[in-house]
Amino acid sequence: MPVKDDSSIAVVWFRQDLRILDNLALLEAVSQAKLVIPLFIYDETLTEQISPAQFWWLHHSLSVLQDNLTAYGLRLILRRGKTLSIIRELKKDINFSSFHWYLNYEPEAVVIDNQLKELLDTWQVDAASISDGQVLIPPNKIKNLQGDYYKIFTPYWKESVKHMESRDYYQIPNEQFNTPKYVESDNLDSWGLISKTEQWVNKFAQYWQPGEQGAQQQVKNFIENSLSQYEVSRDFMDQDITSKLSPYLHFGEVSSYYVWAEIKKAAHQQKKLAAPAAAFIRQLWWREFSYYLLYYFPELPTKNFKQKFDKFHWADDRILYHRWCQGRTGYPLVDAGMRQLRQMGFMHNRVRLVVASFLTKNLLLPWQQGKKWFFETLIDADLASNSLNWQWVAGSGPDAAPYYRIFNPMLQSKKFDPTGKYLRTWLPELEKLSNKYIHEPWLADSATLSAADIKLGKDYPYPIVDYKQSRANALAAYREL
């Protein structure tokens, strides 16, 4: 590291890296300058605005980051406006000598990063950009033998893991630094990130602890309580042993490297964890693959990766879409997943596949509509992961699920929620139904429904489509391609 210059000022720009541990941008800033300005910009002009669900998380995550920086004598500077305009204004007021930040691989962010580098060069400011904060391996490092990018996951995964190297976590010294007192900051509460009209987001507090400490604790909890069963039980929604690390990774409250290293360490210490750890790390690499594809195909959030899907005749039915969004389809597993989404800002991964398949194949509604609703309601809605996963299920994406794979909601819930625990958690109106009928309430006779205090069509809807017919319609439509 360069020798610290007592006369210089360093800016460290926080984005989706809201942490102190394993943050190289922050470490370099405090190592080079006596005065450090930690900066976060809320850019309202970006097309992919975060949702009320993510606003809730961001508010609490920034609050935690403020407190954590204060312990080191630093003050988080909050600014609202267009990113480059904010940085220009900051430069007018403060003659900072270096600017440190992690690159972001979302399309609009890539443009901003390139423009920022040019701007800093014009000012003769040291532009210290770092390429591996949002991902484990920078996308431009991985190419196939033809010099092109990989379009199938497995060869990408096999090649990219070769580039992983173990290292120590980046840690700033346990000492006091300083942020100039004259640098003004917005008040976090004035941003109004926690909506007064979207009251449903306030339920999240009973399930989540945003912030760096919460992230590290979640990694610890997962390793100690769930990792050993991950390989064989991760699809069982009644057991719920998924990591729940996705929102923490999305906001960068924990680095991907930290998660990878802690899982590898656990597997090294306990040989029985080797197989489940490998299964989890493969899922972590699927997240990597989503950013990789987004980097090389920036239209991933809006356009079909497979161009032949441009000719697909999607339906246009706002009523069916609304029923899907609200968890009123009459198919318990689909409805339970959509209710969990509204309650927690989260959905079990297996159920995500089922509800996405139901929308795109049983209702024949475009995947972009599902992606949009997930983006509005998920606290972990990465632009890259959300887009790739929807295209994968719909069949329009790279390395996608085959068109004939249509998830059967009844069979999926019988297999992965055999006692109906998950269904009863999120569909209390079906709580009294027996295990035999809770997966398919419409098969119960009137006496059974009456004993369970359920009137179909009133307390719980009839199925909005006939599953067998809708499946046949989907197969016919897909075969046309």
pLDDT digits (tens, 9 = 90+) for 221-237: 999 999 999 999 999 99
Residue 256 exposed, middle or buried by CB count within 10 Å (0-12, 13-18, 19+): buried
| Residue 358: φ, ψ to 5° | -65, -45
Task: Tell me if 334 sits within 8 A of 324, measured CB to CB.
Answer: yes
Task: Categorize the per-residue pLDDT at 401 as very low, low, confident or very high, splitting at 50, 70 and 90.
Answer: confident
Question: What three-state secondary structure class fits 456?
Answer: strand
CATH fold for the domain made of 135-167+211-296: 1.25.40
Q: Where are the domains of the chain?
A: 5-134, 135-167+211-296, 307-479
Cα 393 to the center of its chain, rounded Å: 17
Q: Which of 328, 327, 337, 329 is nearest to 423 (CA)?
A: 337
Q: Which of 26, 119, 115 is nearest to 68 (CA)?
A: 26
By DSSP bridging, strand 98-102 and strand 5-14 are parallel
Burial 170-187 (b: 16+ CB within 10 A, else e): bebeeeebbbeeebebee
Write out the two tokens for 210: 């945003």
Residue 476 neighbours by CB under 8 Å, 6+ apart: none
Q: What is the pLDDT of residues 45-56, one digit of tens each?
A: 886 667 889 999
CATH label, 5-134, candidates 3.40.50.620, 3.40.630.30, 3.40.470.10, 3.40.1010.10: 3.40.50.620
Residue 400: pLDDT over 50: yes
Packed helices 332-344 and 367-377: angle between N→C axes, nearest 10 degrees: 40
Give the mean model confidence (pLDDT) for residues 246-275. Answer: 97
Question: What three-state secondary structure class fits 411?
Answer: helix
Write out the two tokens for 140: 């431009």
Distance between CA atoms of residues 432 and 454, nearest Å: 9
Which region among 9-23, 41-55, 56-70, 308-322 has the lowest average model confidence (pLDDT)?
41-55
Q: Other C-beta atoms within 10 Å of 92: how many? A: 8
Residue 325: pLDDT over 90: yes
Question: What three-state secondary structure class fits 132?
Answer: coil
Residue 391: pLDDT over 90: yes
pTM of the model: 0.95
Q: Is the dihedral of CA 357, 361, 363, 364 positive or negative?
A: positive
CATH code of the domain made up of 307-479: 1.10.579.10
Residue 7: pLDDT over 70: no
Instruction: Round the average pLDDT of the chain to a whole number and report it.
Output: 94
Distance between CA atoms of residues 211 and 220, nearest Å: 15
* pLDDT for residue 3: 42
